[in-house]
Amino acid sequence: MKKNIFKNTILYFSVIALFLLGCGNATSAIAQEEGTAMFPLELYSEANSVSLEEALGEPMVPLAGDPKAAVIQAPQASGKVVYTSSGNNDVTMDASNSADGYIMVKYTGSASVKLKLILSGPSGIKYTYNLNSNGNYETFILSNGSGNYTVGVYKNIVDTKYSTLFTKSFQVTLKDEFAPFLRPNQYVNFNANSQVVTMAASLVKDSKNDIEKVQSIYDYVVKNITYDKQLAQTVQSGYVPVVDDVLMNKKGICFDYAAVMAAMLRSQGIPTKLVTGYTGSAYHAWISTYSKETGWVEGIIFFDGTTWRLMDPTFASTGNSSDAIMKYIGDGKNYQEKYLY
């Protein structure tokens, strides 16, 4: 008995150490350069030296109500409510579908510039993203529910100093409380032709309800995707998961696991939050889902037949679902939610 306890203890700490050396180092490497949406650590300065300091906020309050039927809801820039930057009109924000939980923003100026977008909602939490400079719209989620939002676009001048290109405050009243967590966005990026969508449909074809869909998708991810230690050691600032590549290569870092699963579940009409935060002292990513049977289950992905457990797909895969890791994952005290995508 004592030998078994000793073995389990060694396994537990070995896997935790492996995780901290992998995902933990990956986030540190990113944070060292400058904050992205995952790591908002950078100070943004306008040309007139007015600074914007990224603030860490409180976790989101779970949403209420029932989601609509499963359907892939592709974001659209409808052109009905559009705002542009003054002067050169290089920045365009389409808020036509803000009631559906998203806005779309594009930059049509010089293709060689480095851009940041900062989005804050009713809670005051600021989300920092990289914005592409190729002239194409990108989708940004309104994950903080109904209320007042502010978006700003900033162009890099030198080092970590940015000039302000565009700012806009606008009011949002969500017509579907689940909309922000059903659609594709910059980090959970998929469409009707994505391989993750095809795979998800195949995995859940015999499922009788959302709970069985969640379990089938979870089982597939942890059994078929392995942790990419090399990527974890070399990942650069601004890393964005490409879910079909992760699926094809069958490996990825913590953010990839969460993005693939979120994309699969959203494609099946299951509201899914991609969450970033802390497990102990390591920055990490996991998912939370909603079903009519359970409501919101924060950090879920493991169902043992009778009860839900707090589950993170990276830990489960790395630890081969050992009893020690499953016990650690099942303890909500080990998770501190920060940002929702």
* Whole-angstrom distance, CA of residue 39 vs CA of residue 127: 9
Q: Residue 326: what pLDDT?
A: 61
Domain match, 101 and 28 both: no
Neighbours of 309 (CB within 10 A): 17
pLDDT-flagged residues of the chain (< 70): 1-71, 279, 282, 298-335
| Torsional class of 305: left (φ above 0), alpha (ψ -120 to 50), beta (otherwise) | left
Q: Which of 122, 145, 179 is the last residue of a domain?
A: 179
Domain match, 212 and 295 both: yes
User: What does the pLDDT look like over 107-161, one tens digit per residue?
Assistant: 999 888 999 999 999 989 999 999 999 999 999 999 999 999 999 999 999 988 9
| Residue range of the domain that includes 14 | 2-34+187-340
Q: Residue 44: what pLDDT?
A: 28
Domain match, 194 and 336 both: yes
Return the C-alpha torsion angle 313, 208, 267, 214, nearest 10.
Answer: -10
Domain match, 279 and 211 both: yes
Domain match, 7 and 60 both: no
Taking the model in full, what pTM does it have? Answer: 0.71
Q: Are 16 and 247 in contact (CB under 8 A)?
A: no
Task: Report the CATH number that the domain containing residue 29 is assigned in CATH.
Answer: 3.10.620
Domain match, 332 and 230 both: yes
Domain match, 107 and 191 both: no
* Whole-angstrom distance, CA of residue 221 vs CA of residue 216: 9
Task: Report the CATH number that the domain containing residue 155 is assigned in CATH.
Answer: 2.60.40.10
Q: Residue 227: what pLDDT?
A: 85
Q: Residue 327: what pLDDT?
A: 62
The pair phi, psi for residue 192, each rounded to 5°, is -60, -25
Domain match, 28 and 58 both: no
* Whole-angstrom distance, CA of residue 41 vs CA of residue 48: 21
User: How many structural domains does the chain have?
Assistant: 2
User: What does the pLDDT look like over 276-322, one tens digit per residue?
Assistant: 877 677 677 778 888 777 777 766 543 333 333 445 455 555 555 56
Domain match, 162 and 292 both: no
Q: Residue 333: what pLDDT?
A: 65
Domain match, 241 and 327 both: yes
One-letter amino acid at 156 equals: N
Domain match, 156 and 227 both: no
Q: Residue 214: what pLDDT?
A: 85
